[in-house]
Amino acid sequence: MMRDADVGIATLSLGPLPPSALRERVAGTSDAKWFDESGARTVEEWRQALAVAGRRLSDFGTILDFGCGCGRALRHLEANLLPTQRLIGLDVDAQAIAWLAASYPRVTSLPLEAMPPTSLATGSVDLIVAHSVFTHLPEDIQFKWLGELSRVLRSDGVFVTSVHGAKVIREYRHALQSQGRHNEGGSFDATMYLKGFCHVRGRTQAEMTLPEYYGAAFHDIRYIVDHWQQAFELLAWLPTFALGHQDVVVLRRRAG
Ligand SMILES: C[S@@+](CC[C@H](N)C(=O)[O-])C[C@H]1O[C@@H](n2cnc3c(N)ncnc32)[C@H](O)[C@@H]1O
């Protein structure tokens, strides 16, 4: 079987599916078919997003899946790695990481504290991917993790992440409206208008083991242009590209 990170998605060598409770914690559903298919789709989206920025998955020696959870996308990345590539998965969810470490020995799976730093060496990673992680962090914690990711990413390395952009913002706003939560809607609008970023705290039952700061974060692309570009240069913005829902941004770590 062809094992090329840039040639479609191979499924024959896929490792095991995580248990349903871990699947539900990252996906909001334990549906095994959705978990498997959406993971393959996320990797294909990363491949296409990199292509928009003129890069290929096979260009990168060490790939970090930041906030990998129980490996929804990481399983598919692993199945497509070249023998020379190294894959690291990091998450604050110690149970998910323990399961990955036992089930995917070829992947370096490491648990994180709720706050940086990681144990990774400075400049040791070539590509960072993160699906639906910065969609959950409050602003100050977001900046702490962005700082840490820029530390571990090599100069000129690439960072592909999803954010809750215009489509999710509209859906959230509509939900507040239809639930009659007009005051919250008004203050959400004002914050998004003035700042371009808003974080709303709240964990589902399945997410109660995650840090208490966990919630929903919303990013206007203007905010990313204005606030993320000290450490990273924005290479591409793909609205609603991640599973037809979240926006994808591709960034390059600035030198120095
Ligand atoms: C919606 S899930 C997405 C998981 C995985 N990326 C995927 O696409 O299936 C969000 C993940 O972010 C992780 N997470 C939350 N805060 C984090 C942090 N500060 N550092 C790393 N991971 C974090 C959670 O534990 C969870 O696994």
Residue 11: predicted pLDDT: 45
Among protein residues, the one whose CA lies closest to atom 2 of ligand 1: 26
- Of 24, 66, 78, 92, the one to substitute when testing ligand 1's pocket (max ligand atoms within 8 A of C-beta) is 92
The burial class, CB within 10 Å (0-12 / 13-18 / 19+), for 46 is buried
Measured from the CA of 42, which atom of ligand 1 is nearest?
A: 8
* Range 191-198 average pLDDT: 96
CA distance 131 to 143: 17
Measured from the CA of 130, which atom of ligand 1 is nearest?
A: 6
- Of 41, 43, 72, 91, the one to substitute when testing ligand 1's pocket (max ligand atoms within 8 A of C-beta) is 91
Ligand 1 center from residue 134 Cα (angstroms):
8
Among protein residues, the one whose CA lies closest to atom 10 of ligand 1: 133
Among protein residues, the one whose CA lies closest to atom 25 of ligand 1: 93
Predicted confidence band at 212 (pLDDT cuts at 50, 70, 90)? confident
Residue 207: predicted pLDDT: 63
Among protein residues, the one whose CA lies closest to atom 17 of ligand 1: 92
Q: What DSSP character marks residue 29?
A: S
Among protein residues, the one whose CA lies closest to atom 19 of ligand 1: 114
Q: Residues near ligand 1 with C-beta < 6 Å? A: 26, 67-69, 72-73, 91-93, 112, 114, 131-133, 136, 145, 210-211
Ligand 1 center from residue 164 Cα (angstroms):
14
Angle between helices 20-27 and 32-52 (to 10 degrees): 50
Rg over CA atoms, the chain: 18
- Which of 51-60, 156-165, 169-178, 211-220 is the least confident region? 211-220
| pLDDT tens, residue by residue, 126-166 | 999 999 999 999 999 999 999 999 999 999 999 999 999 99
Ligand 1 center from residue 102 Cα (angstroms):
19
Question: What is the rounded average pLDDT for all residues in the chain?
Answer: 92
Regarding pTM above 0.85, the answer is yes
Angle between helices 182-195 and 166-178 (to 10 degrees): 160
Measured from the CA of 211, which atom of ligand 1 is nearest?
A: 16
Q: What is the DSSP string of 125-181?
A: EEEEEESSSTTS--HHHHHHHHHHHHHHEEEEEEEEEEE--HHHHHHHHHHHHHTT-
Among protein residues, the one whose CA lies closest to atom 8 of ligand 1: 131
